[in-house]
Each structure stands twice: as C-alpha cells, then as structure tokens.
A and B are shown apart, each in its own frame.
Chain A
Amino acid sequence: MNATQANDADERILRTSPLRKLLGRPELGSVVGAVAVFVFFAFFADSFLRAASLSTVLYAASTIGIMAVPVALLMIGGEFDLSAGVMVTSSALVSSMFSYQMTANVWVGVGVSLLVTLAIGAFNGFMLTRTKLPSFIITLGTFLMLTGLNLGFTKLIDGTVSTKSIADMEGFPSARDVFASTITVGGVGFKVTILWWLALVAVASWILLRTRAGNWIFAVGGNQDAARAVGVPVTRTKIGLYMGVGFGAWISGQHLLFSYDVVQSGEGVGNELIYIIAAVIGGCLITGGYGSAVGSAVGAFIFGMTSKGIVFAEWNPDWFKFFLGAMLLLATLLNAWVRKRAEATA
C-alpha cells in the first residue's frame, strides 16, 4: 500500500462513508418509501405509469404539498398547527365573500384573504409565544373557532353553507390563470399548483439551509432555551413560521376557490393531520429541530401516489387510510432510529 497517500488528508475521514452520510439525511425514509410505493403501484395498477396518471398523482400531491411545506418548517421549529386545514377554507371564503359583497374585482378579495390568513398565523404565533401554552392547545382553539366562523359567517351572509359563484366577476379569469389553470406539456395537462408547490419547496429549502432564518428555525425547534441564550429571536421566528402556514393556506384556499368558483364552508376539517403526516413521513421530527422541505414534498408525493394509485388499481379507496397509516408508522420508526444515531454521545 502507498503510505504517502494518507499524508494530506486526515486518516479519520475514511470513517465517514458516503453511505453513512446518506443515512443521516432526514429525507431518507421518505425516499425509500416513495420508491417502494411507486414500484408497488407500477406493478399492480396498469394505468399508473401513463403520463396522464402522473399528472393526476402530481396534482393530488401538490394540493397537500403546498401546505406540507410550511407545516414542515413549523414542525422543524418545534410546533404544530391544527388550524391549518380549516384555514385553507377560511382563506377561500374570505376571498370569495369579500369580492362578492363589495362587488369588487376578485383580486381585491384575494389580497384581503392574504392579509386575513397572515393575521390568523400571526395570532397563533403571538398566543403561543405569549402564553407559553403548548401549540397543540392554542391551535386546537383556533381550529375550532375557525370551523365555527367559516360556517357561521357563510350562513349569516349567504344563507346557505356554500358561497355564491364569483365566476362572472371582474378579474376571475386572470385569478384562475394564476391559481387554478392547467399547463399542457407534450399533450398532458399539468395543474399550475404543481408549479406553486415546487416553487415553495425550493424557497423553503433555501431558507432552511442557507439563510440565518433557517438556522434559527432549526435552533428554536432543537433547543429553544439554548437558542434564546445565544441571542436568537425565538418569538419572531415562531410567529414568522405560523405566518408561513398562513401564506400556504392562502395559496391553497385561492386554488380551491378558483377551481370550483364556489366554496363549501365545512371543508378542510381533518386536512391539518394529512399535512402533518406528509411532513413526518418526510423526516420531520415530531419533537422539532430536524427535517427538511424536500422531505415534506416526498411525503406529499407518497400521499398522491397512494390516493390515486388505489383508484388506478381499481381497489376500494377505503384501503387508502390503511396504507397511509402504515407508511407513517414505518417512517417514524426509521426517523427515531436516525435521531438516536445523531444524538448518541461519544
């Protein structure tokens, strides 16, 4: 053997094999899971591998993924948001009803809706940091209040549980282009939400990995007291994360509104858990401090493949929840193992 070879490099560097590096990635569990689910449905569902099916799967994934990204960031920051599901509906309702009642250009409603969702997010964050109660309780409260407000206001204003159609209003076509259009690539239509989703994943990844804010997000989730002691603005970081969820709810809500032009006020309940599941499958630790935006996207993709794959395989869709639950358990076990490795003291 050549003895001079090891002169420059530290001989201990050999211990970190690329495989070990890979094992340390938060997305690992979800990528393995995604490949398994893909192969499974490619084998059992004949139509699964067609381009049109891919488009359907990606669309399903994107509607979850848009929310899973900010929810994942929030979880890395150590908190939950149970109000995320109904906030999407609130966003759509505010936008629709404001435009309709004020007979304004729908873009005005869209803008007001953004302000409202950001305000709800800020409220969640403010209550959390002020009261120091668990986020589970705070956002459970917001969840119930929003559910009630959605139904109550819609009935009060429109008399029924759904909003009036705003399809013939000024600005509707352009807003539909932005939030709910279909882009045709090679004869296959892809929903614009896929672009929103990918853009959010890219921006969130950049924030997490390359900005000061990202460092703060990991820190407040990993060890809040240490973060505060070294001068990280914990309150500002957490409020920002909740406002991020509000922003995601705004995009999702506008998509909901402009794809159907009416909104059912009771929708969205239960979706908050699906966002959390996507984030957890994607490697986010439920206790915070660890995870990635890309992981949440893979989690959402698994969700999309499973929900549509079962349809393509012509099975009873009831099985879907079973698959999702099994994926969640497996992913969490794998993540727990990874964390143990990472935290083990020498």
Chain B
Amino acid sequence: MTETTETPAREALVELSGVSKNYGNVRALEGVSLQVHAGEITCVLGDNGAGKSTLIKIISGLHQHDGGTLALDGEETRLSSPREALDRGIATVYQDLAVVPLMPVWRNFFLGSEPRKGVAPFKRMDVDHMRRTTHAELLRMGIDLRDVDQPIGTLSGGERQCVAIARAVYFGAKVLVLDEPTAALGVKQSGVVLKYVAAARDQGLGVVLITHNPHHAYLVGDRFVLLKRGTMVGNHERDDITLDELTRQMAGGTELDDLRHELERR
C-alpha cells in the first residue's frame, strides 16, 4: 500500500476545542470541547442554564464563538449564519421552533429550500413534487400521514420532531443537531423519536443530541459531554462510563446528597 492523503483516523465532522462564548460580561460557555463523528451520536447533557443552548447556537451558526476553535471536516472555520451552517451540512432541529404550526406539512418540509420549476419571472414551486416527496419521506421514517395538506400544528409533538428530522435527512445533512427532542414528550413518544435519531445515525449522519435526561442519552449515545454552569465537567466515551455514573454526574452528585440532607431536616 502506498501512502494516501487520507488520514488513518477518521476526521471528525464537527470538532470544537476549548470553545468559549460571552454575552456582554456574562460567560455563557468556557473551554468546551466536543467531537461529532459520522454514524455516531454525541450527547450533550446539562441542567438548565448549563450552556447547552449556547453550544447549539454556535454549531448551528446563530451565534459565533469568542474563543477556541470550531472545525468542520478538520478545517477551522466560523459560521456566520444558519444558512451557512445548512449549506455546510449542519441541520438543527429546535425543540419548539422547528416548524410553522399553521402551515401544511409539505410546506414546512421544504421551507427554506423549496424546489422550483419554470423560467425567471414565472418560477414557481414544484408543488406536486413537494407533496409526493413529503409523503414518501415521512413514510420511509414510518409516519403515514393521511393528508400532507394538514397544518403541521395538528400533528403530535413526537411526529413534528420526526418531520423535522426527516427533513434534515432528506436535505442531505451530514450533521444533525437535536435540541431536547424528547423534553416535552411522554415515554412512548420519546421512544419513537429516539428510534428516528438512531435511524438517522444508521444512515451515516453525525448526531448531536442535547438533553437533560441521562436515560435517553445512554440509550443511543456514543459520547457524552457534560456541561455545568457554562463549563465542561465531563467528556466520556460510552465504554468509559456507566448509566449510573452518568446519572450521578448529571444530577449533581454531591449536591444531590446535600439537597437530600437539607430536605430531610424539615
């Protein structure tokens, strides 16, 4: 074998090293490192205010980092807008702003990337294609909609997440960023969403799963990054950590013991 330009170790799709972000004099994120590989799920865990949202916003191009480096496919870069992130294959599915509730499912599915036909002044959306594709893609993910014309607000929370995931997969995302996809869902619906997350991983996507539920994270995750008050308190591979340990770290460990002690006194 001759030497090739390919590196033997796989290059991470997204790699953050020592990233920090300040809002005015508030330090939102400090020294966070994270890797996302193709066909793997990287879970970001943390309580409210830990900096999870800030981290997503940096990866998805809504905000720019102040310190550290962000590399895509090994190339250091800075994302200036969500559009640029999308163009480079990073699709973000937000917990509550993934869709426009009053718009039909097919319009939501293609929003921002509408296929068009016809010539210049009469360029129009390819509506038939959009309707058919939406139905077919959702069916592929196991959602059988009776009517792609229904407002997406009439779907259940889990179904809406799945539409957003299916959309990202269809548009050739290489990296899928999911913001608390199971936060507002019941047990069964959460399971359905996690199944689609795993399905996206099996299609070779790199997934960033943001959650505060260690049980959900441990079901599908390959790497776990723990955030606390803007700093990284843990970065584990799946083999290095057990669910119990992850749960304990997530719950605050000793802080939980203190709390129990405090509550018992009353």
| A interface residues with partner B (beta carbon < 8 Å) | 10, 12-13, 15-16, 206, 210-212, 214-215, 218-219, 222-223, 225-232, 285, 289-290, 339, 342-346
Among B83, B107, B123, contact of A215 (Cβ-Cβ < 8 Å): B107
Residues of B within 8 A of A206 (CB): 124
Residue B127 at the chain A interface, CB threshold 8 Å? yes
B151 touching A342 by the CB < 8 A rule? yes
- Distance between Cα atoms of A130 and B127 in the complex (Å): 33
Q: Mark B111-127, 1 if CB is under 8 A from A, else 0.
A: 11110100000011101
Residue B92 at the chain A interface, CB threshold 8 Å? yes
Residues of B within 8 A of A10 (CB): 144, 146
* Residues A226 and B102 in contact in the complex (CB < 8 Å), given A345-B154, A346-B156: no
CB distance from A194 to the nearest CB of B (A): 24
Residues of B within 8 A of A214 (CB): 125
A212 touching B100 by the CB < 8 A rule? no
Residues of A within 8 A of B112 (CB): 219, 227, 230-232
Task: Closest B residue to A290 by CB, please name it.
Answer: B102
CB distance from A290 to the nearest CB of B (A): 5
- Distance between Cα atoms of A289 and B155 in the complex (Å): 18
Among A211, A222, A339, A343, contact of B124 (Cβ-Cβ < 8 Å): A211
Q: What 3 A-B pairs are tightest by C-beta distance, nearest first? A: A231-B112, A230-B112, A222-B100
Task: Closest B residue to A229 by CB, please name it.
Answer: B82
Residues of A within 8 A of B100 (CB): 218-219, 222-223, 226-227, 289
Residues of B within 8 A of A211 (CB): 123-125
Residue B9 at the chain A interface, CB threshold 8 Å? no
Q: Write 13 A-B pairs (CB below 8 A) sorted by A numbering.
A: A206-B124, A210-B124, A222-B102, A225-B97, A226-B111, A227-B111, A230-B82, A230-B86, A231-B112, A289-B100, A343-B102, A345-B157, A346-B156
Task: Closest B residue to A211 by CB, please name it.
Answer: B124
Residues of A within 8 A of B157 (CB): 345
Q: Mark B147-169, 1 if CB is under 8 A from A, else 0.
A: 10001011111000000000000
Task: Closest B residue to A341 by CB, please name it.
Answer: B154
CB distance from B63 to the nearest CB of A (A): 12
- B76-118 at interface with A (beta carbon < 8 Å): 82-83, 86, 92, 94, 97-103, 107, 110-114, 116
CB distance from B134 to the nearest CB of A (A): 13
- Distance between Cα atoms of A343 and B144 in the complex (Å): 20
- Distance between Cα atoms of A12 and B83 in the complex (Å): 38
* Residues A232 and B146 in contact in the complex (CB < 8 Å), given A210-B124, A344-B154, A345-B154: no
- Distance between Cα atoms of A16 and B154 in the complex (Å): 13
> How many A-B Cβ pairs are below 8 Å?
99
- Distance between Cα atoms of A68 and B107 in the complex (Å): 25
A215 touching B111 by the CB < 8 A rule? yes
CB distance from B136 to the nearest CB of A (A): 14
Residue B71 at the chain A interface, CB threshold 8 Å? no
- Distance between Cα atoms of A346 and B101 in the complex (Å): 13
B146 touching A15 by the CB < 8 A rule? yes
Task: Closest A residue to B104 by CB, please name it.
Answer: A218
Residues of B within 8 A of A290 (CB): 102
CB distance from B186 to the nearest CB of A (A): 13
B103 touching A219 by the CB < 8 A rule? yes
Residues of B within 8 A of A231 (CB): 82-83, 86, 112-113
Residue B198 at the chain A interface, CB threshold 8 Å? no
CB distance from B255 to the nearest CB of A (A): 34
Known: A206-B124, A219-B103, A229-B98. 5 other contacts (CB 8 A): A212-B116, A229-B92, A231-B113, A343-B153, A345-B154
- Distance between Cα atoms of A218 and B99 in the complex (Å): 12
Residues of B within 8 A of A210 (CB): 124-125, 127
Residues of B within 8 A of A232 (CB): 111-112
Residues of B within 8 A of A219 (CB): 100, 103, 107, 111-112
- Distance between Cα atoms of A345 and B102 in the complex (Å): 11
* Residues A16 and B146 in contact in the complex (CB < 8 Å), given A219-B103, A222-B100, A289-B100: yes
Residues of A within 8 A of B98 (CB): 226, 229
Task: Closest B residue to A220 by CB, please name it.
Answer: B100
Residues of B within 8 A of A225 (CB): 97
Residue B50 at the chain A interface, CB threshold 8 Å? no
- Distance between Cα atoms of A287 and B242 in the complex (Å): 49
A12 touching B114 by the CB < 8 A rule? no
A218 touching B113 by the CB < 8 A rule? no
- Distance between Cα atoms of A154 and B186 in the complex (Å): 66
Among B97, B127, B151, contact of A229 (Cβ-Cβ < 8 Å): B97
A12 touching B123 by the CB < 8 A rule? no
A343 touching B125 by the CB < 8 A rule? no
Task: Closest A residue to B168 by CB, please name it.
Answer: A230
B103 touching A229 by the CB < 8 A rule? no
CB distance from A205 to the nearest CB of B (A): 12
A346 touching B154 by the CB < 8 A rule? yes
CB distance from A223 to the nearest CB of B (A): 4
Among A206, A230, A289, max chain B CB count under 10 A is at A230
* Residues A16 and B147 in contact in the complex (CB < 8 Å), given A218-B107, A227-B112, A346-B156: yes
